[in-house]
Structure 1
Amino acid sequence: MVQVAAALLFTLAAGLGVTVILAMLKNNENAILSALLGEGAFPIDAAPQSGPLPQKITLRRSPARRDAPRPVRAVTRMQPALSRAA
């Protein structure tokens, strides 16, 4: 009886998995097939093109950030690992 229930659950899970895969193929058929063919999600003609940057931008820290106050740690007294009674 337990084996029959396990077989039915396995069949249900497999059917659900196939249904999800078919739904994904239906919604994104072009993107999935082009990715499988090695073209990627975008065909080469419609892909975003990148070019050289017009000028180099250097980043520097602002003075207000450099002068920000640092948190102060509270000084605590170290407790010995063993008590004096030991």
Structure 2
Amino acid sequence: MVQVAAALLFAVAAGLGLTVILAMLKNNEAAILSALMGEGAFPAGAAPQPGPASRVITLRRSPERRDAPRALRTAVRAPISRAA
């Protein structure tokens, strides 16, 4: 009886997984198929091209950070046994 329940549960899980895969294929068919064929996410003409940037954007300097004062830590030595 337990084996039958496990088999039914496995069949339901497999069916649900197959349904999710088919739904993904239906929604993103072109992107998935182009990725599987090795074209990647971008068509060759519209892909970002490497190289230097056409213009440089300078970032604003942030105000200097003020760290909160921290308490000084003292070295704590572990007690050494004199029995040795």
TM-score (norm 1): 0.67
Equivalent residue letter for 1:73: A
Q: 1:40 to 1:81 in 2, by over 3 A?
A: same
Q: Secondary structure at the match of 1:46?
A: coil
User: TM-score, normalised to structure 2's length?
Assistant: 0.69
Structure 1: segments with no counterpart, 5+ residues: none
Give the match for residue 11 of structure 1.
11
- Report matched runs for 1:39-58 at 5 Å: 39-54=39-54
Secondary structure of 1:64's partner? coil
- 2:20 maps to a residue whose letter is V
String of CA shifts for 1:11-34, please: whole Å, max 9, x gaps. 000000000000000000011111
Query: What is the number of residues matched between the two proteins?
Result: 81
Unmatched tracts of structure 2, length 5 or more:
none
Identity %: 67
Q: Could you tell me which amino acid in structure 1 is paired with residue 69 of structure 2?
A: P
Provide Cα deviations, 1:14-61, integer angstroms capped at 9, x if missing partner. Answer: 0000000000000000111111111101111222334412467788x7
* 1:38 aligned residue: 38
> What is the rounded CA distance, in whole Å, between the counterparts of 2:55 and 2:63 in structure 1?
24
Comparing both chains, which one has the higher relative contact order based on Cα–Cα distances under 8 Å and sequence gaps of 6 or more? 1
How far apart, CA to CA, are the structure 1 residues paired with 2:76 and 2:50? 59
The one-letter code of the counterpart of 2:70 is V
